[in-house]
A = this chain, B = another copy of it.
Amino acid sequence: MIRFNCDYSEGAHEKVLEKLIATNREQTEGYGTDRYSAQAKELIRRLCGRTDADVHFLVGGTQANLTVISAGLRPYQGVIAADTGHINVHETGAVEACGHKILALPSRDGKITAGQVEACCKAHRDDADREHTVQPKMVYISQSTELGTIYSREELEMLSEVCKRNGLFLFMDGARLGYALAAEGNTMTLEDIARLCDVFYIGGTKAGALFGEAVVITAPSLKEDFRYLIKQKGGMLAKGRLLGLQFLALLEDGLYMEIARHADELAKQLREAFCKAGVSFLVENTTNQLFPVLPDRILEEWKEKYSFSYQQRIDEKHSAVRFCTSWATRREDVDLLIADIEKIVL
């Protein structure tokens, strides 16, 4: 069985492991106040071109999302997101459990537009009984999105502008940020993101680390007392250095981008194979997730050999499924799959 169902089937890149092994018996301060975490934070600030940013390391994405959102909202405020957004569909109501409504906007490609955000704010502002409705205060986007698409720099600038104008925080979930930055057609840099977002994170779990997300906060009002929230929400790792060390390994020599390019490149080969076979996609993208629409009979055939994830029914005989590549995907596995794609008869 070859796993293409997600991008977290393996452990960590060997360079990450080596760093953990090399420092294993060293004694450090706990809870992320150690020297390695400090170095990693400094490095991230440099890469983002924001010496004023606060950086915090969290273990996982749901934890990062609920902690950031809790930091930004008062009890009656909500967060705008695409209806396909991870916080809206795959976190068991974690945001609501922190007391906040998600103001879900319809999306076909995983993205929301500045226009949608503006309309949502305007509807609230114009409501005579606005205090009977949830007040929008944050916009949550994912880069790349849950459908593998990416925002262009222009789109992010427009979102940022509409957020500023309406007093909203702009928050980017970067669980797959590497795969977005390395994607064909990407026009955005880490510096752009740090300039345009109030808070975002650089995902490690799906991109070479054992686990870990590096939250970068640029908005002053979000920085205050953030560590209290990390602790309260159960996200403060006792041996915080494990996070700092992993991000050092990923970011100090460009490893993060290198392995992201590897995944995107392999995804591209799969995409081309599907195209050649006449297979269409639920949504077009250039990152490490593919959403081909395939006959159920082929999925049935493949399921003993490959692991992939079920996305949605298209019609009686076809379904959209998800195939992922990752930093760990092996070329030979991709070649095997391509050979099978080439055999598809639609």
Contact = CB atoms under 8 A, between A and B. Distances in A.
Copies in the complex: 4
A70 interface: yes
Interface residues of A, number: 76
A107 to B, nearest CB: 15
Interface string A116-135: 00000000000011011111
Interface string A97-123: 111111000000000000000000000
A345 interface: no
Given A62-B231, A231-B92, A20 B17 contact: yes
Contacts of A2: 27
Interface string A67-83: 10010001110100000
A297 interface: no
A302 interface: no
B99 A134 contact: no
Given A8-B30, A10-B26, A94 B135 contact: no
Contacts of A128: 309-310
A28 interface: yes
Interface string A25-62: 11111110000000000000000000000000001111
A66 B101 CA distance: 14
A10 B25 contact: yes
Interface string A225-253: 10111111111111100100000000000
Interface of A is mostly: loop
Nearest to A231: B92
A146 interface: no
A91 interface: yes
B6 A30 contact: yes
The 7 nearest A-B residue pairs measured at CB: A63-B234, A11-B24, A76-B228, A92-B232, A93-B101, A9-B27, A131-B227
